[in-house]
Structure 1
Amino acid sequence: MMIRRWMAIGLGVMTLLSGCGSKSTYFPLEKGRTWSYVMRYERPDGKTQEVMQIRTLGKADYTDAKGASETAYVRRTSSGTDYYLSVKPEGVYRVAKRVVVQFDPVADAKPRLVMPMGKNLRIGYSWAMETQPMLIQWQGTFAEANGSVKPFDMTYQVAALDDTIDTPAGHFTHCIRIEGEGKITIYANPASGYQEVLINQREWYAPGVGLVRLERDEPLNMDIIKGGKAVMQLVDYSD
């Protein structure tokens, strides 16, 4: 989701972590839940806005990377993409994905941690996950020089356990804030050669609700390449 990633994921420690199985406090997966988000993009070619819905479908079978049959929770976006999520004591993992043109889900080569749980849900806990630029645009012939956008690793870290944040859907307290940082290497020009671009992401998860806000910054403003910003906010949800 920008939708690529967006879409797949405090009251005493025991209360914070009381969710288990599908009842993850900060990443609910029970069948029948729905979320609506407004997504605003600031790109080099202008500002745009779109709405995305996510709903939980319950459990479904899939075949993992080793060929074994497994069961996972499924979340479907309004674009028709299904994300398969497995809940372990230490976290919620994305394990497979199915786009609208595929009949069967395709397993991830390695489970991708979306939300830490249990002993891992603590300030400072970090992990890496593959992502790709969402907003950067090369200008003119530099797009040809750089070719297709390549994925890169972003390092995520639990930065806070008790944030407060407001969105169109309401006022949320005791939120977890997860911050991500990564670098992508691009070819600027023959004189400058390759340069690193820093990309930042911040996500807020509210107890019993899930993701309520996401911010993505790809700050770059050069003649040859430009970046932008994206903000995703929860506008409505139902259990």
Structure 2
Amino acid sequence: MKRFLRDNGLALTFGLLFLGSLTGQAFAGNADLNNRRLVDGGDPIGLWQYVFSSDFAVDVAENWQSEYLQFFLFILATVWLMQRGSNESKPAHRLGPESDEQQYLGEHAKPSSPPWARAGGWRTRLYSNSLGLLMLVLFLGSWLAQSVAGRSAYNNEQLIDFQDPVSWWEYVLSADFWNRSLQNWQSEFLAIGSMAIFSVYLRQRGSSESKPVGAPHDKTDESG
């Protein structure tokens, strides 16, 4: 058990932080919604009713989609783009998808390599891009969920204000939908760009997200 906890510490820790913050969001969001309903003369709703409501779903989905968009774009961008001195970047001579030998594919696979790395054909091509594809699918799925839940929440507000509800396409093209999306996207792009730049000059001893403390500023693709 101790070895399992050690070997999976990152996943377990952030999984627990995720569940804790999601639970906190549910309680805080329910309280906030009930305050607004009381101001408008409505009745408060219970926690579980809120958790299964479009208001909670859209708030969760709009954050998830921006996170997966960030990872998808960063994974793709780091294939072709570099930031000299950043441990988040490959050096210039390795830009691009690299050779089969560098990636341990086909005849260059190691005994411990995943089976699809040595299989060849469509299986190797698919597995070679599987991480980026998964991030893209998760982004598109959560963005679709945001649009569906967001439309429902938006139409609830429309009906309260005695206005006509909108279709899914009308909502996707609305300012409310794009305001929700872009306010999250800009923060993700800022964070990942800042990390790439700050890691050139700043250090965190012992972290794989940092270069060794004594590494030169222009040293690229080295973690310590």
The normalised TM-score by structure 2 is: 0.21
Higher relative contact order (CA 8 A, sep 6+): 2
The normalised TM-score by structure 1 is: 0.20
Higher alpha-carbon Rg: 2
Q: Determine which structure has the larger strand proportion and give its number.
A: 1
